[in-house]
Structures are given as structure tokens and as C-alpha cells.
Chains A and B, each alone.
Chain A
Amino acid sequence: MIRIALKMLVGDRARYLGIVMGLTFAALLITQQSAIFVGLMTRTFGSITDLGQPGIWVMDPKVQFVDDVKPLQDTELLRVRGVDGVAWAVPLYKGLLKVRLHDGAYQTCNVFGLDDATLLGGPPEMVEGTLADLRRAEGVIVDENGANGKLATVRPDGTRVPLRVGDTLELNDHRAIVVGICRVSRTFQSQPVLYTTYQRATTYAPRERKLLSFVLADPKPGVDPSELCARIEAATGLQALTSDGFKTATYGYFMKYTGIPINFGIAVLLGFVIGTAIAGQTFYNFTLDNLRHFGTLKAMGATGPLLLAMILVQALVAGSIGWGLGVGGASLFGIVSRNSELAFRMPWQLLAISGGAVLFICLASALLAIKTVLRLEPAIVFKG
């Protein structure tokens, strides 16, 4: 009878298409919008991800997210090093500096100054040159997108010349030579990213009393990172977070203080509601149109549980196909937009969420249909 149920469903092409399209639309909208949302949210903590080290970030207690730099005194580095359980600790400079290009134009860049001795915290991927090249005098590493985009110089005839290894820049009247090109995760900040050593960064930066942005630390083997964070906080009065904790805090800040989650939440909800309306409505209508046939089956001895199973199978099959098409469509969208500015990330949890939503839509409309069918008086079959 399950096969019969499926033929009943698929047999009415137009209606079947309507049901599946509704579910596809719901799944597509939910998955695609949440994927963009997740993508954007991942960008918020792109700089933390790039740092790679599963270490500890020490910062001013008032810092709320990774781009919210509140400088520390250089001596804080030594205090962190002094905390029991810290294997090593290095300084990190992170700040926005104006870069003067060849053609005289200025461009603000996101500059990272890495510990001179270890160069810890460098870019995740080098395209040209190596991280060690930073040790060369006046060396800086520039990110690929910046080098091809905002840092490119425009010739009088309009052609763009990308910034290349060997080119020079000027930061606050200090010369800098490009020694490498790297690739970094996209962040919310659209500025080019520039890596240099900590010492050099502090000379590039405007004279200020405090220049240390973060202290990066790592626990000794066997020391629990979160426990060490607590110890650092107690000893220094600073804020210490594991990189996961810092990601969460950053992401939480954006969730709380920007309209992004609400906007996407509305889009996702809209997909859900519209999908439910279309698919639920068509499926319910499908059942209503088949009421006479369900009545006939009932008269011929179909039991309640059997009818229930038939309707559930109809709903779940339509749901699976709709979900598959929707998620497939969303993936396609992701692949097409892979090389664009668009943020798009589709972890398996999103598939589970859209699957759950579609399942809910199907079960809800099936339940509605089942209620009607179970209440149905088989005597209607004699009506002309």
C-alpha cells in the first residue's frame, strides 16, 4: 500500500510539483540565507582564525571583539610571562595605519606587528615569499586581495598595476619593502592586511604611550587553557581568553550589537513561513482532493494506522525530494559565489537545520491531513 500511496502522490503531476517546489523553496531559502549568515559571522573573527595558534589572547578588560583594540603597556607582556603555567608569551600589534602608495595616494591598512624573535601570529598561507622574509630590513607582507586591489597603483592610462614583491610603500614617513604576498581570511574590515615585525610596527605607528594590542600566550603542556586564562586574569587584572573564547566573544558582540542576525533571522523565518504555507497548503489540498479515495480505502478496510502511514510516507517523500533540491540549489549557489565577495559557509549543521525545518513542515501538514482523513466518515463514498 506504500507504493500505492506514492503513486497517489506522484500521479497528480501538477500538484506534486507544487508540493515539492514549496518545500524546495523553503529549504533553499533557509539554507542559503543561514549559510550567508554563518559566512558573515565567521568573518567577524577571521583575524583570530588566521592566527592559527590554539593559544590564549590577553587584552584590556574592556575589549569586546577582535577589532576593538585597546592598547596595553609593554610591561604587561612581562607580567603575563611571569604567570605560572605560561609556556611563552609574545606581543602582537594590531592597528589601522595609513599607507602612502607609489602614486601618492593614501590607503588605510590593517597592520599586524609580530613578535620579532618568533614571528608568531603570521598569515595562514603565503602566496609568494616566506614569513621569515619579514626579518629583512623594512620588510612587510601584504595580503593578495589588498595587493591586487586597494594597494594597486593606477597608471595615467587607467591600467591597474598590482603591488608586487620588491615594491616599496611608505608608512608614516618610513619606507617599507614588500617581501611577500599572503592569503588571509576575509574579515568585516575591508582594508588590506599588512604584516610586519612588532618592533617595526611600533615605529610605523604614531607615537603613543601604549602600543601593545594583545599578548599571545600558550599554556605549558598539561595546563588547561581556560584555567590558565583565569590565572592570568587574577595575576594581571587583564582579560584573557582562549582563541575559541575570543571568537565566541567577537561573534557574540556582532550578534548583539549589529542588525545582521535580525536581518538574516527574518529572511530565514520568511523562508520557513512561506515554505510552510505553500507546501503545507498544497499538501493539505492534495489530501482534500484525495479524500474520496481515502474514504474508499477506508470503506474497503484500510485501518487508521495504515492511512497514517500512507500520508506520512507521502509527506516525507515529498519533503526529502524538496529538501534535497533546496539544499542542492543552495550548494550550487555557494559554488557559483565561491570567488566573489559574498560570505557563504554551509557546515553540516545547516543541512540538519533546514532538514529539521522541512521535516517540521511535512509533519505539520501531514498531521493536518491525517486528522481530516481519520475523521472522515467512510459513508461519504456513497455520495454521488
Chain B
Amino acid sequence: MSPAPAPAAAPAAAPALAIRCRGVEKSYGSGDALVHALRKVDLDVAMGELLMLVGPSGCGKTTLISVLAGILDADAGEVAVLGADLRTMAKREVTRWRGEQVGFVFQAYNLVPTLTVEENVAIPLLLRGTPRRLALARAGELLEQVGLGARRRSAPRDLSGGQQQRVAIARSLVHEPRLLVCDEPTSALDAETGHGVMELLRAHAVRADRALVLVTHDSRIFEFADRIARMEDGRIRAVEPGRAALATEPH
């Protein structure tokens, strides 16, 4: 038995990078109304990681995840997400990339009220042309996972806030995106319900081939982070390990 030569870079030692930002700038408006929302942001997020973005209101958290998810164009800098160089891609390409690679969870859930719960969950699949029957079946599976299998045919308004956010999580995962962005997913919920939503996210969304970026100012859920990036006035001030990383082995 001759030992195989060791590879130059062991993948286990350095997990693949999901997001790499360098010198990202973004401002809104012009003249007197000019607002520098992002001032030279550098950020790396690894695959398999849940990174939380925290900081005071107006510091640029939402702007940053919008840039990362490809729904807002940066003014300057380098934005490489899941191997795609977003700043050089055409708008159409970015739209398609987003539809396939990114899942969203919003503070306001953003479920379409006139559709059933399962139809809402199926939307990302329907958008890429998956046949309705298949899409609904897959949506049903996801709803089972988030504990709402029995409510597939309900209208969103008949569910509680926590349940609606679980539906939104099912929707964000149904097409198996490799990046999940969540903006204040627990802010509209009470502590206990928010806790449940985060447990659900950690249990079903965190995977070795997926990165999560979650914006929050809810310190009660910091314990679910692998790392926490603190933002202030358009800059990232510090990145600290979160309690989830300390408490558990890498998944």
C-alpha cells in the first residue's frame, strides 16, 4: 500500500467560500440627499455557515444583503457570490441566477394573500417552469418539514405570524438555493416564536453546500449564529464567532 500524495489544498481544512466582497460601495440619491449606505465593505462568508449581520438602524444591513442577493447593484467594489461575479453580469443573467441560487426570507413574510399556502411555497419552482403538479408536491414536502403539512390549502391570513414565517422559510428552501438571505426574520414575532423559527432554520436550512446571511437586531437569537458581523455607518466594524460555532462541531 503506497500512500497517495496529499492534495495541494485540503478541502476539509478550508471550506469553499460562498461570498467574497471587497471594497463594496453603495450610495442612494444625489447632491444634498446623497446617502452612503455602504462604504468599502469587505466580507467573506463560507459555505455551510450562518452569518448574522447586526448593527444600529440605518447602518446598511439591508443594503448589503440586497447587493449580495443580486437585487441591488453595487456602485464599486467586487461582489463574487457562489462563484458568480455579479458586477459584470447582465441584469437578465442576475435575475435568472437569483431565481435559481438564492432564497429569501423577509421580515414581513411577503406571502401572496390570494394564493394558498402550498401555492406560495411553490412559487420559486413555478417561476423556473417546474410543472404545477410537481411543484405543489415538492411544496407539500417542505411544508411537512416546517410542521405545516396540514395547512397546505389554507390561506396565509388564516395562519399566525410564526406560522406564516415558517411558510416563508419553506418557500425560500423549496428550490434548494445555495444562498439564503433573511432580513429580520424574527422581528415581527414574539421571543418564543422567533426562537422556534430560528431552530427551524438551523435544522433545515443550514447545510454544507449552502450559506446563510441573516440580518437582525434581535440579540435573543444571536446564539444561532456561526459568526456575527457588526456593522456601523456603512462599514463592517468587527466579525466575531457566534455561539452556535462554539457550541457545535462543524456540520
Q: Which residues of A contact B (CB under 8 A)?
A: 1, 3-4, 7-8, 10-12, 292-293, 296-303, 306, 377-379, 381-384
Contact = CB atoms under 8 A, between A and B. Distances in A.
B201 to A, nearest CB: 17
B105 to A, nearest CB: 10
Nearest to B96: A301
Interface string B5-30: 00000000000000000000000000
Given A301-B95, A303-B92, A379-B66, A384 B108 contact: yes
Given A300-B104, A303-B92, A4 B98 contact: no
Contact of B98 (A8, A300, A382): A300
A383 B95 CA distance: 20
Interface stretch (B47-55, B110-118, B189-197, B237-245): B110-118
A7 B114 contact: yes
B118 to A, nearest CB: 12
Contact of A296 (B72, B100, B110, B119): B110
A303 B114 CA distance: 21
A299 B132 contact: no
B127 A306 contact: yes
Interface of B: 62, 65-66, 69, 71-72, 92, 95-96, 98-100, 102, 104, 106-108, 110, 112-115, 119, 123-124, 126-128, 132, 183-184
A119 B112 CA distance: 75
A299 B127 contact: no
Contact of A11 (B69, B100, B113, B183): B113
A299 B171 CA distance: 13
B135 to A, nearest CB: 10
Given A301-B95, A301-B100, A303-B96, A3 B132 contact: yes
Nearest to A292: B110
B132 A293 contact: no
A293 B120 CA distance: 11
A293 B123 CA distance: 11
Contacts of A384: 107-108, 184
Contacts of B96: 301, 303
Given A4-B119, A379-B66, A382-B62, A301 B110 contact: no
Nearest to A294: B112
Contact of A301 (B66, B99, B113): B99
A12 to B, nearest CB: 6
B29 to A, nearest CB: 13
Contacts of B108: 292, 383-384
Given A4-B123, A4-B126, A301 B98 contact: yes
A224 to B, nearest CB: 61
Contacts of B107: 382, 384
Given A301-B124, A302-B99, A11 B104 contact: no
A300 B124 contact: yes
B106 A300 contact: no
22 contacts: A1-B127, A4-B112, A7-B115, A10-B114, A11-B113, A12-B114, A293-B110, A296-B104, A297-B123, A297-B127, A298-B95, A299-B71, A300-B123, A301-B98, A301-B124, A301-B127, A306-B127, A379-B62, A379-B66, A379-B72, A381-B110, A383-B108
Interface of A is mostly: helix
A301 B108 CA distance: 19
A379 B71 contact: yes
Contacts, number: 78
Contacts of A12: 114
Contact of A382 (B66, B99, B112, B119): B66
Nearest to B98: A301
What 8 A-B pairs come out closest when comparing CB atoms?
A: A301-B99, A11-B114, A378-B71, A296-B110, A382-B183, A382-B62, A379-B66, A293-B112
A381 B92 contact: no
Nearest to A295: B110
A8 B112 contact: yes
A297 B119 CA distance: 13
Contact of B127 (A11, A292, A300, A382): A300
A8 B114 CA distance: 6
Nearest to B132: A3
Contacts of A10: 114
Contacts of A377: 71-72
Given A4-B123, A301-B99, A11 B115 contact: yes
Nearest to B215: A382
Contacts of B99: 300-302
A379 B99 CA distance: 15
A1 B177 CA distance: 20
Contacts of A296: 104, 106, 110, 112
A379 B106 CA distance: 11
A322 B189 CA distance: 43
Given A293-B110, A384-B107, 13 more contacts: A4-B112, A8-B112, A11-B113, A292-B108, A296-B104, A298-B71, A299-B71, A300-B99, A300-B127, A379-B72, A381-B71, A381-B104, A382-B106
Which of B62, B69, B108, B114 has the most C-beta atoms of chain A within 10 angstroms of its own C-beta? B114
Contacts of A378: 71
A377 B62 CA distance: 14
Contacts of A383: 108
B204 to A, nearest CB: 19
Contacts of A297: 123, 127
Contact of A299 (B92, B98, B126, B184): B98
A19 to B, nearest CB: 14
Nearest to B62: A382
Contacts of A292: 108, 110
